[in-house]
Amino acid sequence: MTGLLPNLNRVIGLSGGALDTLMPMHVWVDLDGRIVQAGPTLTKMAGQGELTGKPAFSVLELRRPVRVRGVQALMRLEGRRLGLVLKQAPDLPLRGTLTGLPEGAGVIMDISLGLSFARGVTQFDLTLSDFSPCDQTLELLYLNEANRSTMRLSRHLSQRLEAARAAAETQAMTDALTGLANRRAMDLDLLRSLRDPTQDFGLLHVDLDLFKQVNDTHGHAAGDAVLERVGRVLRSVTRQDDMAGRVGGDEFLILVRDCTDAGHLGAIAARVIREIEVPIPFENHSCEISASIGITATGTYAVRPGLDELLVDADTALYQAKRGGRGRFVFHGMAGSEIPTGRRVSDPAPRGRLARHEGDGAALDGPGEKTAH
Amino acid sequence: MHGMVNRALQGFVTTTYGADAWASVRSQAMLPVEDFEAMLDYPDALTMQCFQAACGVLQKHPNVLLEDLGTWLVTHDDLEPLRRLLRFSGPTFLDFLYSLEEVGDRGRLAMPDLDMPSIVVEPQDGSGFRIRATWVLPGIGPILLGSLRAMADDYGALAFLTLDGIEGREECLLVQLLDTKHSAGRRFDLGQAQT
C-alpha cells in the first residue's frame, strides 16, 4: 500500500469558499465569541444579514447538552451532539457538532435542520441549492411528501373498500324485490331486540291471501308487482325504528318497537290489511289480494320468550286468523270463542294509543270485546 | 403490474378524453373492475389489454399515446405531487437529467413495490445525451420522451428530444440540451407541498 499514512494531527488549509461548499450551514467563531464566517445557508436562515463580526450568541442559542454562553465553555463540547436554535427561530430545534481550530483560531460548528427539516425549509424558504448534495435532508423531504401521497391513496382505498363492504352488507340483509329486510336480517334484529331486556316490542306475522291465484292467473310478473306493492305498504306503516321483512314467498314480519299494546298493534294490522286490499293494477288487470295477520308481543309473556317461541306464537295466531277467514288478524293467546280478531272497519282509531302511527285512519272492530288485553 | 400504472392510464384517458372514452376502453378490454385502484396489483396482461384498447378507441398510434401519457404525468394538475417529487431530483434540468439514473431508487423510496425503469444517461459530444431505458413493459421510450419534454419546460430549459431506436430491451432517446435557462419555468418551492 502506498500513499500518505493517515495522520489525524496533520493540519490542512481550507478556504472560506471551500467551507461554504462542504458545509453550507457552518459557523466559525473566534475566541472572543465573534463570528468569523458563516455558511450561505446558515446566513439565510439566521435572517440577520451578513453574520461576520456579529457575536455568535446573538445569532444562536445553545441548549443541549447544557446551556452555554461563552466560547471557552463551547470548546469543552467538542465532538458532542449539540442541540441549538437560532435567535430568530426559537421554536425550530437544530442539531450541530463542533471542533476546535488550531492556533487559537476558535471553533467551527456544523449545523443541520435535524427533525425540523420540513418546517425549516418552509420557514427559511430554502431551495435545493441551499443543501450540500451530501446532505440527505432533501431525500427526507422527498420521502415525507411521497409518504403523504401514498398515505392519501391508501386512505382512499380504505374508504372505497369500506363503502363496498357496507353496500354488500346492506345487500346481504335486503330482499331485492321488495327492498324490505330479508329473513336473516329480521332474525338478527329480533334476536338483538330480545336480548335487550329494556326493549318491548310487538310482532306481526303477515301472510298474503289469494297471492297464489294472482301468480297462477296473471303470471309471476304480476306476482312480483304485488309483492313490490306490499313492500311499499309495509314500509309506509312502519316507523324509522320499526322493521319489516320478507321472510318467505308471501310471508312478512313486522317488528313494532316499544309497543305491546293490543289496540295499537291491532290498528297497525288493520291498516296493513286495508292497504293490501286496495286493488293493484297490473297491465290490463287488477290484482286483488288480502292478508291474514298473527300478532304477539313480548310484554304478554311472564318470562322473556326466545326467538323460536315468539315466531311459533305469531305463526299460531296467523293460523287462527286464516282459519277465521281471510283479511283478519288474531292476537296470540286469545283462544276459544274469545279469539280477538280484527276486521277492518271505518271506526276511528282510539286516540292516544295510535298517536305514534300517524295517518292511521281506521283500525279495530267495535271497542271492548275484541281488543281487550 | 402495480395499480399505480393502471390508474395512471385510466386517469390519463379520463381527464384527457372523458369518462365515456374510458368506458369504451373498459368494455373493449373486458376489464373486470370499474376503476383501477392505485394501491392494488393487477396482472400485466390487463395493463396491455387496456392500453391496446385505448389505442383502438382513441385512434392513436401507440407511441403517440404513450408520449401524451408521459406529458400528462408531469403536467396535469391532479399529478402535482408527482411533479414535485420529480423536481426534488435537482435544481436544474441538467441535474435532473443526470439524476435519471437514480430514478429507480427514488421511486422505490416512495413505493417499494413499484416497478421502476432502469435508466442510463450517457453524455455525448457537446450538449447531447443518450438515454437508455429498460422497463418491465414495452413503451418506456415514448413515455420518457413525453415526460422529459414536459420536465424541460417545467425547469424552463430548452431541449430537443427524439426517440433513438430500440436495442434489445433498451429503448433509447437523444436529448440535445440547448439552454438550461431558456425561460422561467414552473415554480417549485421546496417547503410548499400541497396537502
Mean pLDDT by 10 residues, chain B (195 residues): 90 96 94 87 91 95 96 94 92 94 91 92 92 95 97 96 94 94 90 61
**CA A48, CA A55: separation in Å to the nearest integer?**
12
**CA B172, CA B140: separation in Å to the nearest integer?**
9
Which residues in chain B are closer than 8 Å to A120, comparing Cβ atoms?
191
Q: Which amino acids of A are annotated catalytic?
A: 250
Contact B25, B19 (CB under 8 A): no
Q: Which region holds residue A112: left if phi is over 0, alpha if psi is between -120 and 50, else beta?
A: beta
Q: Which residue of B has its CA nearest to A116?
A: B191
What does residue A92 show for φ and ψ, rounded to 5 degrees?
-110, 95
Contact A235, A181 (CB under 8 A): no
Both A114 and A144 in a single domain?
A: no
Both A166 and A109 in a single domain?
A: no
Nearest by Cα to B107 from B132, B82, B90: B82
Both A196 and A273 in a single domain?
A: yes
Q: Does A122 contact B191 at a Cβ distance shorter than 8 Å? A: yes
pLDDT at A372 over 60: no
Give residue-wise pLDDT tens across range A163-221: 989 988 888 899 999 999 999 999 999 999 999 988 999 999 999 999 999 999 899 99
What CATH number is given for B71-179 in this structure? 3.90.1520.10
Residue A368's pLDDT band (cuts 50, 70, 90) = very low
Q: Does B193 contact A157 at a Cβ distance shorter than 8 Å? A: no
Domain of A68, CATH number, reads 3.30.450.260
Residue A353 located in a structural domain: no
Least confident range of A15-19, A308-312, B35-39, B150-154: B35-39
Question: How close, in Å, is residue B141 to chain A by CA atoms?
Answer: 25
Contact A242, A284 (CB under 8 A): no
For residue A319, the model assigns a pLDDT of 93
Q: How many residues does chain A have?
A: 373
* Cell matching residue B84: 414535485
For residue A325, the model assigns a pLDDT of 86
Minimum-distance CB partner of A146 among B37, B90, B109:
B109
Both A215 and A99 in a single domain?
A: no
Residue A94 located in a structural domain: yes
Minimum-distance CB partner of B191 among A121, A149, A156:
A121
Which residues in chain A are closer than 8 Å to B103, comparing Cβ atoms?
none
Q: Which residue of A has its CA nearest to B191?
A: A122
Both A130 and A143 in a single domain?
A: no
Both A91 and A153 in a single domain?
A: no
Give residue-wise pLDDT tens across range A20-70: 999 999 999 999 999 999 999 999 999 999 999 999 999 999 998 999 888
On the 0-12 / 13-18 / 19+ scale of CB atoms within 10 A, A209 is: buried
Give residue-wise pLDDT tens across range A136-151: 998 999 999 999 988 9
Both A129 and A69 in a single domain?
A: yes
Nearest by Cα to A243 from A198, A183, A196, A286: A183
Both A13 and A128 in a single domain?
A: yes
Q: Does A150 contact B111 at a Cβ distance shorter than 8 Å? A: yes
For residue A345, the model assigns a pLDDT of 39
Residue A223's pLDDT band (cuts 50, 70, 90) = very high
Question: How close, in Å, is residue A121 to chain B by CA atoms?
Answer: 5
pLDDT at A252 over 80: yes
Residue A340 located in a structural domain: no
* Cell matching residue B54: 385505448
Give me the domain span that covers residue A159: 139-172
Which residues in chain B are closer than 8 Å to A119, comparing Cβ atoms?
191
Residue A3's pLDDT band (cuts 50, 70, 90) = low
User: Quick check: B107 contacting A, CB < 8 Å?
Assistant: no
For residue A346, the model assigns a pLDDT of 37
SS3 letters for chain B? Answer: CEHHHHHHHHHHHHHHHCHHHHHHHHHHCCCCCCCCCCCCECCHHHHHHHHHHHHHHHCCCHHHHHHHHHHHHHHCHHHHHHHHHHHCCCCCHHHHHHHHHHHHHHHHHHCCCCCCCEEEEEECCCCEEEEEEECCCCCHHHHHHHHHHHHHHHHCCEEEEEEEEEECCEEEEEEEEEECCCCCCCCCCCCCCCC
Number of domains in chain A: 3
Q: What distances in angstroms separate CA A54 from CA A23, A40, A82, A253, B179, one per listed residue?
A: 20, 15, 21, 87, 41
Both A111 and A162 in a single domain?
A: no
ipTM for the predicted complex: 0.87
Minimum-distance CB partner of A128 among B90, B192, B193:
B90
Residue A153 located in a structural domain: yes
User: Quick check: B33 contacting A, CB < 8 Å?
Assistant: no
**CA A68, CA A270: separation in Å to the nearest integer?**
90
SS3 letters for chain A? Answer: CCCCCCCCCCCCCCCHHHHHHHCCCEEEECCCCEEEEECHHHHHHHCCCCCCCCEHHHCEEEEECCCECCHHHHHCCCCCCEEEEECCEEEEEEEEEEEECHHHCCEEEEEECHHHHHHHHHHCCCCHHHCCCCCCHHHHHHHHHHHHHHHHHHHHHHHHHHHHHHHHHHHHCECCCCCCECHHHHHHHHHHHHHCCCCCEEEEEEEEECHHHHHHHHCHHHHHHHHHHHHHHHHHHCCCCCEEEECCCCEEEEEEECCCCHHHHHHHHHHHHHHHCCCEEECCEEECCEEEEEEEEHHHCCCCCCHHHHHHHHHHHHHHHHHCCCCCEEECCCCHHHCCEECCCCCECCCCCCCCCCCCCECCCCCCCCCCC
* Torsion angle, alpha carbons of B84, B88, B90, B92, to 10: 20
Residue A263 located in a structural domain: yes
Contact A52, A38 (CB under 8 A): yes
Q: What is the mean pLDDT of residues A271-299?
A: 92
User: Quick check: B88 contacting A, CB < 8 Å?
Assistant: yes
Residue A86's pLDDT band (cuts 50, 70, 90) = very high
Contact A283, A259 (CB under 8 A): no
Residues 144-173 of B with CB under 8 A from A: none
User: Quick check: B30 contacting A, CB < 8 Å?
Assistant: no
Question: How close, in Å, is residue A296 to chain B by CA atoms?
Answer: 47
Both A281 and A148 in a single domain?
A: no
For residue A11, the model assigns a pLDDT of 82
Q: Does A126 contact B190 at a Cβ distance shorter than 8 Å? A: yes
**CA B90, CA A36: separation in Å to the nearest integer?**
31
Both A118 and A219 in a single domain?
A: no
Residue A87 located in a structural domain: yes
User: Quick check: B130 contacting A, CB < 8 Å?
Assistant: no
pLDDT over 70 percentage in chain A: 88
pLDDT at A107 over 60: yes
Minimum-distance CB partner of B190 among A127, A143, A157:
A127
Both A324 and A287 in a single domain?
A: yes
